[in-house]
Amino acid sequence: MLYHSTRNKALCVSSAEAIAQGISKDGGLFVPESIPALSAADFDALKGLSYAERAARLFALYLTDFTAEELRECTRAAYESGSFETPAVQEISTLADGSMLLELWHGPTCAFKDMALQILPHFLTRAIKKTGIDREVVILTATSGDTGKAALAGFKDVPGTRILVFYPVDGVSPMQKRQMQTQEGANVGVCAVKGNFDDCQNGVKAIFTDPKMQEILAANGMQFSSANSINWGRLVPQIVYYVSAYVTMLEKGILNNGDRFALTVPTGNFGNILAAWYAKQMGVPITHLVCASNINKVLTDFIDTGVYDRNRDFHTTVSPSMDILISSNLERLLYHMTGEDDAQIREWFGALKTDGRYEISRELRNRIQAEFSGAYFDDAQTKAMIGKVFSETGYLSDTHTAVGICAARDYTAKAADKYPMLIASTANPYKFGAAVLEAVGVDAGDADEYAVLDLLQQKSGMKIPAALAELKTKPVRFEDVTAQEDMAEYVKASLGIK
Ligand SMILES: *Cc1c(COP(=O)(O)O)cnc(C)c1O
Is residue 434 within a helix (H) or strand (E), and if so which, with residue range? helix 433-439
What percent of the chain lies above the pLDDT cut of 70?
Answer: 100
Clarify whether 463 is annotated catalytic.
no
Q: CB neighbours of 82 closer than 8 A, spacing ≥ 6?
A: none
Is the shortest distance between the CB of 400 and ligand 1 below 6 Å?
A: yes
- Residue 105 Cβ inside 6 Å of ligand 1? The answer reads no
Task: Give the position, in ligand 1's atom list, of the atom nearest the Cα of 271.
Answer: 7
Whole-number Å distance, alpha carbon 129 to ligand 1 midpoint, is 30
CA of 230 to the centre of ligand 1 (A): 13
Q: With bands split at pLDDT 50, 70 and 90, how would you rate the model's confidence at 498?
A: confident
Range list of H helices, 257-361: 271-282, 298-305, 330-337, 342-355
Dihedral over Cα of 303, 304, 307, 310: its sign: negative
Q: Considering only CA atoms, which residue is closest to atom 1 of ligand 1?
A: 321
Model pTM?
0.95
Give yes or no for residue 296 CB within 6 A of ligand 1.
Answer: no
DSSP secondary structure, 126-163, as one string: HHHHHTT---EEEEEEE-SSHHHHHHHHHHTT-TTEEE
Quick: pLDDT tens for 160-184.
999 999 999 998 888 999 999 999 9
Residue 428: band (very low, low, confident or very high) from pLDDT cuts 50, 70, 90: very high
The Cα-based distances of 34 to 17, 62, 278 in angstroms read 17, 9, 10
pLDDT digits (tens, 9 = 90+) for 190-244: 999 999 988 998 999 899 889 999 999 999 999 999 898 899 999 999 999 999 9
Distance of CA 320 to the CA centre of its chain: 13
Under the banding of pLDDT at 50, 70 and 90, the label for residue 417 is: confident
Higher pLDDT, residue 33 or 226: 33
Angle made by CA atoms 431, 167, 108, in degrees to the nearest 5: 40
For the chain, the 3-state helix, strand and coil shares in percent, each to the nearest 5, are 50, 15, 35
pLDDT of residue 458 exceeding 90: yes
For position 154, what pLDDT does the model report?
A: 95
SS3 94: strand
> Counting atoms of ligand 1 from 1, which one is nearest the CA of 269?
8
State the distance from the centre of ligand 1 to the C-alpha of 381, rounded, in angstroms: 19
Amino acid occupying residue 467: A
How do residues 262-303 score in pLDDT, each as one tens digit? 999 999 999 999 999 999 999 999 999 999 999 999 999 999
427 lines ligand 1 (CB under 6 A): yes
Query: Does the C-beta of 277 come closer than 6 Å to ligand 1?
Result: no
Give the nearest ligand 1 atom to 401 CA: 11
Does 367 score more than 90 pLDDT? yes
Q: Phi and psi at residue 373, in whole multiples of 5°?
A: -135, 155
Strands 357-359 and 261-266: unpaired
Q: How confident is the model at residue 141 (pLDDT cuts 50, 70, 90)?
A: very high
* Residue 68 binned pLDDT confidence (cut-offs 50, 70, 90): very high
- Check pocket membership of 294 for ligand 1, CB cut-off 6 A: no
> Residue 251 — pLDDT band, cuts 50, 70, 90?
very high
Query: Average of pLDDT values for 476-496?
Result: 96
Calculate how far, in angstroms, residue 265's C-alpha sits from the geometric centre of ligand 1.
Answer: 9
Q: Closest ligand 1 atom to the C-alpha of 229?
A: 7
From the candidates 47, 113, 418, 431, give the one annotated as an active-site residue. Answer: 113
Cα angle at 359 between 382 and 210, to 5 degrees? 90
Q: What is the rounded (10 degree) CA torsion for 293, 295, 297, 300? A: 60
* Contact by Cβ (8 Å): 34, 277: no
31 pairs with which residues across the strands?
A: 4
Q: Which CATH number fits domain 91-109+235-432: 3.30.70.260, 1.10.10.1100, 3.30.70.580, 3.40.50.1100?
A: 3.40.50.1100
Please, are residues 155 and 189 in contact by the beta-carbon 8 Å criterion? no
Give backbone dihedrals phi and psi of 9, rounded to 5 degrees, phi first. -70, -25
Alpha-carbon torsion angle 421, 424, 429, 430, nearest 10: 160
Tell me the pLDDT tens digit for each residue of 385-412.
999 999 999 999 999 999 999 999 999 9
Ligand 1 test: best mutation among 272, 318, 431, most atoms within 8 Å of CB?
Answer: 272
Distance CA 90, CA 106 (A): 7
Determine the Cα–Cα distance for residues 162 and 95; give it in Å rounded to an integer: 42
Contacts of 168 (CB under 8 A, 6+ apart): 144, 192, 193, 195, 196, 197, 199, 200
Establish whether residue 181 lines the binding site of ligand 1, counting it when its CB lies within 6 angstroms of any ligand atom: no
Mean pLDDT of 335-349: 98
Query: Is the beta carbon of 245 within 6 A of some atom in ligand 1?
Result: no
For residue 145, the model assigns a pLDDT of 84
pLDDT-derived band at 132 (thresholds 50, 70, 90) equals confident
The β-bridge relationship of strands 136-142 and 161-168 is: parallel
Q: Is the pLDDT of residue 114 over 90?
A: yes
Q: What is the dihedral of CA 113, 114, 119, 120, to 10 degrees?
A: 40
Mean pLDDT, all residues of the chain: 96
Q: Output the pLDDT for position 284.
A: 98
In the chain, where the domains are located? 91-109+235-432
Q: In terms of DSSP bridges, do strands 481-483 and 91-94 run parallel, antiparallel, or are they unpaired?
A: unpaired
Confidence (pLDDT) at 15? 98
441 Rama sector, left if φ>0, alpha if ψ -120 to 50, beta otherwise: left
Across 296-324, b (16+ Cβ under 10 Å) vs e yields bbbbbbbbeebebbbeeebebbbbbbbbb
> Is pLDDT above 90 for 89?
yes
Contact by Cβ (8 Å): 92, 103: yes
Confidence of residue 378 (pLDDT cuts 50, 70, 90): very high
The C-alpha atoms of residue 450 and residue 182 are separated, in whole angstroms, by: 14
Judge contact between 231 and 150, C-beta under 8 A. no
